[in-house]
Amino acid sequence: MGYESNWAATSDVVRNHYGQRNIDEQYGGQSASSGETKTIFLNVEFDDVQDLGGNMAAFIPNGARISSVVVRAKDAWVGGQSIFFGTYNEAGTAIDQDGLMPATESSELNLVEDAVIVGASGSLLNAVVLEDSYVGWEFTSAFTAGSLTLQVDYIEKRHA
C-alpha cells in the first residue's frame, strides 16, 4: 500500500510518496529517444479494452517508417486463439488491422510465458505510414489470462 502526501502553501509545494504506486500501463508511451528513431512500448493484458485516439494512445505520425516490431509475452496467453496488432485512425477504424503482427504469428508462437517474436512480418514493417495512426490490437476469441509488451520502432519523417 502506498501513501502520498500533497501539501501546498503560498511559497512552496511538498510531495511525498511511500510504498508501491500502482499505475495503469494500458496506454502506450514513447520512450525517451534522440534523433529520428523513436520507440513505442504498449502493454496489453488479456482483458484490456482499446482507447484509440485518446491523449494516452500509442501514436505513429504520418510519414514515419516502421523499422521493427517486437512482441514479448510476459505471462502465458490462455483461452483464446490469437491476437494481432495493427494501425487504426482516431475513430477506431482499422487502417491496417494486422499490419504490425498478423494473427498467424501469434497463434503459431502460442504466446507462452517469456516468448518473443522479433521482426514480426506485418505488411507495415519497413513501410511508410501514410496517415496518422494509432497502434491497436484485436483478439480472434476471448482470452482468460495473458500479458505482453509490444515494441514498435519507427523513423520519423524528415522535415525540410
* Digit-coded pLDDT (tens) for 99-124: 998 876 666 666 777 878 776 678 89
Choose between 28 and 73: higher pLDDT. Answer: 73
Tell me how far apart the alpha carbons of residues 74 and 113 are, in angstroms, rounded to a whole number: 6
Amino acid at 57: A
- Can you read off the three cell numbers belonging to residue 15? 510531495
Q: What is the model's pLDDT at position 122?
A: 82
What whole-number distance in Å separates Cα of residue 47 and Cα of residue 79?
A: 12
Structural domains in the chain, sorted by start: 24-155 (2.60.120)
- pLDDT given for residue 12 in this prediction: 43
> Is the distance from CB of 121 to CB of 102 less than 8 angstroms?
yes
Cα–Cα distance measured from residue 157 to residue 2, given in angstroms and rounded to the nearest whole number: 42
Give the contacts of 120 (CB within 8 A, at least 6 positions apart).
Answer: 69, 70, 71, 85, 100, 101, 102, 105
Backbone angles phi, psi at 89, to 5 degrees: -85, 180
Q: What is the pTM of this model?
A: 0.73
Backbone angles phi, psi at 157, to 5 degrees: -65, 135
- 53-103 per-position pLDDT tens digit: 555 578 899 999 999 998 888 888 888 888 888 999 888 889 998 899 887
